[in-house]
Amino acid sequence: NWAQSSGHLEQNQVIPLIPSPTNLHWSARYGMVAIAVPSDNSTIGVTTVGFAYILGGDSYLSPSLQNVGNNIDLLDYTWYNGYKNDVWRASGTEWYVKGNIRLRTSYKQKIPEVYSQIKWELVSPGLLPPVRTTYDDWIHCDNYFIQSNKSTISECNGSDHKTQWSPRRYHVGAYFKGHIWILGGRAREIRDFPILSMIGGVIGPRVQDIPKTSASKQSFTTQREASVLKNDVWRSKDGSSWTLISAGCKNPQLSLIPKANDREGKYGTLVAACSSDFDCYGAEKCDSTLKTCYCPMWSGREQHAMAASDDYMFISGGFVSQLYSQINDCGPYACGDTYASNYRFFMNDVWRSNDGLNWTLISEHNFPARGGHQMLYFKCPNSQDDCLWVIGGAGGDNKGLGNRLLYNDICYSVINNNRTTTWTRVTMPWSARTGHSVVYEEASGINNYVRRLYVIGGKTHKDVILDDVWVWRIDLDDITLWSKDFTSSAYYSSGVGQYFSFQNNSPSVNYVSANSDLSLLQKFFIPTRLPKSGAGIAPSLRPYITADQLDMLHSAGLFTINDLANADLYTILKLRGFDYPQVPKSERLNYQSICDVRALAIAVVDKCRVDFSRNIYDGQQQMPWNVIPVFGGAVPTNITIPSWHGRDNYDFLLTVDDPTTLLSTWDGCSYIPEIEDVFGVNVNGIGWVSQVTEIADSSKILQELFCKQTPGPRVFHASLMFEERVYLFGGMSLNNSLLADTWYRDAALPTATFSQKPPSKSSAPWFEFKPNEPGVIFEYRILDTYKYKEIRPWTRVTKKTSVSWLNWRVGGPSNGYYTIYVRAVDPAGNRDAKYFENGNVYTWYYVSPTPWDIILEVIFGIIGICILGFIEYRRRLRKSAMERYAMKRMRRKFKALQRDVGELDGNVRFDWRVLYMENKNLGDPNARKKANYQKKKQRDRRKERRDKEKKRRDKEKERIKKKLRETKSIKDSSKVAATNEDIESDEKAKERLQRKLLNKKKYEDNEDDGGFNDKDELRFIDEEEQRLMIENQKTNRYKAYELGENKSTDGSVSDLLFFKESLSADQINRYKGMALSSEPIDPLEIQGTKQRRVFKRYKDYEATDEDPDIDTEKKQL
């Protein structure tokens, strides 16, 4: 896989340095040069420290890409886009890993993000000639021309201005003898148009030279920006200040001099005629025989190749501009001129120089002419001889017929005495191409001391842009044995320490993308039983799609994952076995699980699609164009939205419930109940088909499928070996789009180990992981060893994680044996190739932490209860002591009261405990309320009983009255005789009853204070009746009734007598026993009126005891 360190987001693994006003970056371009410059303390051939330089290129965008249509006036004339001569450099790629506080996993862990720390520095923005100054005039006063006597100090007036190579593309460069070198290419330069070239006018806008005034006429310049081929040579120590080593030539090398008119003996063109070297430009020489200027070095060219050794620079091939005609009848000179009749000419010459000024031709016509190729200088395989290697390229027949050839060969020759010898041409397994890049990797410890050669990208026939990478192990394999990335022949490195190794059959062969073959949909199984030592075990895999199923998919026209993910309704139904009626059932497909496979294909496409939401600034999600509104009612359909929202309507929020519309969007797999009918779904042309109600979960399979991550197709890009890695920059991609990004190839799979892990049979929760390379994040997975059940799928973390969620208190599975797997994920998306015990796999027994908080809560709770119990115990002791003291005091106070009660009531004895309890209850408001409530309920119940009893007594009274009337005549005589005596007795009884009723009313007034209730009333009546019965034992109870005087004015006497008559003998005896008993009376049973009267007297005694001056009359009362 490849890692992206700069440019616009094109993968999901890291956040690259994205060009912005704060993050300087070179513009998108192609045809530039990349050069690795080691630092001063670096050894030759090793560029681990230093800078990577990007120089020049073409950033011009076509009118269609600029959205200017066919308006030629809007094309770029400001050099903002187009050929470049700026210089950029970077010191390498560094990575910064942190957790994203805005994004979290489903387990509330921060999602780790990897940020590129590469910094591109603008070394030189590029220098241009002043306005209305041609490029030739601008550099005419350079030291090169002065030293070559082609300009004088007097002409330049001692000017000392800085110059630089003109903006260009398809040039070459190298780091040679401590300098950065730039040679040739196609450049943009301001030049004067030859007069003959302007016959008939000039296409394009007229450029004003001299404004029109009264003293001068308005004129227009004949200077135009021309695209010319260069062979000048420049060098710089730091990329900022440049020195012109050779101005090159305007005329071709000797072998390309036009020779079209042999009859006249004329060569070259009229403007190239000369008599001495001073008549020629720059490095040109005057041929004394041909009388024409020629170039003693390689002609101006583009798409040529360059290589450098310790002593020499080499230039080979390329495209030049050749002046010739197929018809040899053009007059005294060759046909046409350099602006009208030139043709592209393919070169196969090789030049060398040790200073950039003097060049020597060392080979010509030894391999097919070509351009857009690459050339390298390194030792031959398993030899000490130095070889020059020419790789790939494009050529032709050099007859101007437009025949184009592409090459997939390598031509090499041994360098002997700094000259080539016999050339050998070998055909390669990779496809013919041009515009590719080639990188040579020196032997080092990181590549197991095996030299390698890389061929990357390019363009093949029909302008198909490639994205493949081919690798040749120079000293181990034959020159024709190349391995291609993402194939079983590709080599990779993995492991650490003694287990570090290189091997083929890389795990990357199973990496997937949307364009991958369907056979790459596979199931991976992580090993559960691992050896205690060794290099580890790789995951095993099984095909998810069988061979027969794959044949069915191919027969339906589905070959890639993207094809299956975007398959239409009829294709899916055909695979499910539903086809047109005319297709026999025996010929129909039967792939019932196709919807499960399609769900996995859709998940893979979504996983590998670039997620641009990861690269957002703070608050971007809250911008109006990213906010999805929620409407209180129906979604509006006819609304006008401001254009800056980026939306025209909210139709995507509308809920579609029309069966016809839903059927038109049905994919054949998803379940839509609205389109379901009695027999299923009626599909036009097929008939009734059933819906799939359940689709298998593909998440477990998906987490073991890794996305392929590459720079993508590109041509005319730049690449180099830097930081012991293959770097790739920019280039042109599909649809002529230009790129501004930085990638590096990573064939070293990371390996994770534990830097901290909890011991077995402990509750320590923290695991910390350690990588073997920078920019790595981690994924961990936990397996219940006993149940062989995955309890935590692969979850991303930065460098450590806690397994405290295993604790039973937070809903975890609690104690037991668990196995944790960890794998590192590098910026390229590579992961561990193998798993080994105590390396990236660890099994331990987890013990849930002792719940000290609960234990402490229980301990402190018990202590608190004990303290409260002790406090309550002490309180009750004090209360008991106070009660004993109060009771002793009460007994002393009630002695006199007891005597008074005895004198008044005869043998009735008073229990002081009853009064004490009543007094105690009066002091408690809650007890008082509760007692009143209970008493009220009792009163209500007694009232109901009394009402019933009253009715019964009324009936009894009527019965007795009736009986008395019957016997009235019999007893009249006895009634008359006893009238006087009965009247006297009745008056005494009436007086006592009036006194009794007066006391009753008095106690009823105090009923709210707890001093009287219905039960007390009953007992009070009972006691009075008992007293009457004792005083009138010999009195006839029915005498009053017999005399007919049973009614008084208020009816109270008659009621009392009737109530007495209603009592049974047992009740009367029981009341007598209670009143006359000498034993202490239970305070819970005795609550009568007599007790309340005594209680009132007790209050008076207590008041007298507190106040000696109390009223004597009240005391007596």
Beta-bridge mates of residue 132: none
- Residue tagged 């050894």 (tokens): 43
Contact assessment for residue 229 and residue 321, using Cβ atoms and an 8 Å cutoff: yes
Does 374 score more than 90 pLDDT? yes
Distance of alpha carbon 728 from alpha carbon 176, whole angstroms? 21
pLDDT at 741: 93
Per-residue pLDDT tens digits for 1039-1087: 433 444 443 334 334 443 444 444 445 544 544 444 444 444 444 344 4
The pLDDT of residue 529 is 83
Contact between 599 and 696 (Cβ < 8 Å):
yes
| Whole-Å CA distances, 980 to 976, 988, 1055 | 8, 13, 23
Tokens of 742: 């930085």
The residue whose two tokens read 């229980």 is: 858
| pLDDT confidence of residue 145 | 77
The secondary structure element, H or E, covering residue 738 is: strand 738-745
The model's confidence at residue 521, banded by pLDDT at 50, 70 and 90, is very high
The residue ranking higher by pLDDT, 996 or 446, is 446
pLDDT, tens only, 954-969: 888 888 888 787 777 6
pLDDT for res 73? 34
**Which residue would you say has higher pLDDT here, 210 or 261?**
261
| CB neighbour class for 403 (10 Å; exposed up to 12, middle 13-18, buried from 19) | exposed
User: What is the DSSP code string of 145-177?
Assistant: HHHTTSS-HHHHTT------PPSEES-EEEEET
pLDDT for position 349:
93
pLDDT for the residue 188 = 86
Residue 971: predicted pLDDT = 61
Residue 1102 has pLDDT above 70, yes or no: no
What is the model's pLDDT at position 298?
94
pLDDT above 70: residue 1093: no
Per residue in 379-412, pLDDT tens?
999 888 899 999 999 998 877 666 788 999 999 9
pLDDT digits (tens, 9 = 90+) for 21-45: 888 899 899 999 999 998 765 444 4
Distance, CA of 467 to CA of 456 (rounded, Å): 7
Most confident region among 100-109, 687-696, 966-975 by mean pLDDT: 687-696
Which residues, other chains included, contact 284 with Cβ-Cβ below 8 Å and sequence gap of 6+? 249, 250, 251, 277, 293, 294, 295, 296
Name the band, by pLDDT with cuts 50, 70 and 90, for residue 78.
very low
Give the model's pLDDT for residue 81.
74
Whether 375 contacts 389, CB under 8 Å: yes
For residue 195, is pLDDT > 70? Answer: no
Element (H, E) at 319: strand 313-323
Average pLDDT over residues 252-272: 73
pLDDT band at 326 (very low <50, low <70, confident <90, very high): very low
Average pLDDT taken over every residue of the chain = 78
**What is the SS3 assignment for 94?**
coil
pLDDT at 345 over 80: yes
Mean pLDDT of 527-542: 83
- Phi-psi region for residue 356, left (φ > 0), alpha (ψ -120 to 50) or beta? left
| DSSP-assigned letter for residue 677 | B
pLDDT for position 1077: 42
Element (H, E) at 100: strand 95-104
Cα distance between residue 909 and residue 907, in whole Å: 6
Q: Has residue 1014 got a pLDDT over 80?
A: no
Residues in contact with 1026: Cβ distance below 8 Å, sequence separation at least 6, in sequence order: 1068, 1071, 1072, 1075
Percentage of residues of the chain with pLDDT beyond 90: 35
Please give the Cα distance from 715 to 433 (Å, whole number): 10
Q: What is the pLDDT of residue 45?
A: 46
| Residue 249 to residue 1044: CA distance in whole angstroms | 166
| Rg from Cα positions in the chain | 57
Which range of 65-74, 132-141, 372-381, 638-647 scores highest in mean pLDDT? It is 372-381
Ranked by mean pLDDT, the top range of 9-13, 180-184, 496-500, 1063-1067 is 180-184
The whole-number pLDDT of residue 612 equals 77
pLDDT, average across residues 668-674: 89
The Cβ-side half-sphere exposure at 531, using a 13 Å CA radius, reads 7
Structural contact between residues 895 and 901, judged by C-beta atoms closer than 8 angstroms: no
Percent helix, strand and coil across the chain, each to the nearest 5: 30, 25, 40
Token digits of residue 679: 């027999």
pLDDT at 553 over 90: yes
Angle at which helices 569-576 and 594-608 cross, to 10° = 140
- In sequence order, the β-bridge partners of residue 88 are 54, 122
For residues 44-54, average pLDDT: 69
Q: Compute φ and ψ for 272, nearest 5 degrees.
A: -95, 0
Packing angle, helices 912-922 and 1089-1106, rounded to 10: 80
For residue 805, give both structure tokens.
């969620």
| Weakest-pLDDT range from 82-96, 299-313, 506-520, 913-927 | 913-927
Question: What pLDDT score was predicted for residue 1079?
Answer: 44
pLDDT of residue 270: 75
Structure confidence at residue 901 as a pLDDT band (50, 70, 90)? low
pLDDT for res 975? 56
Question: Which tops the pLDDT comparison, 885 or 651?
Answer: 885
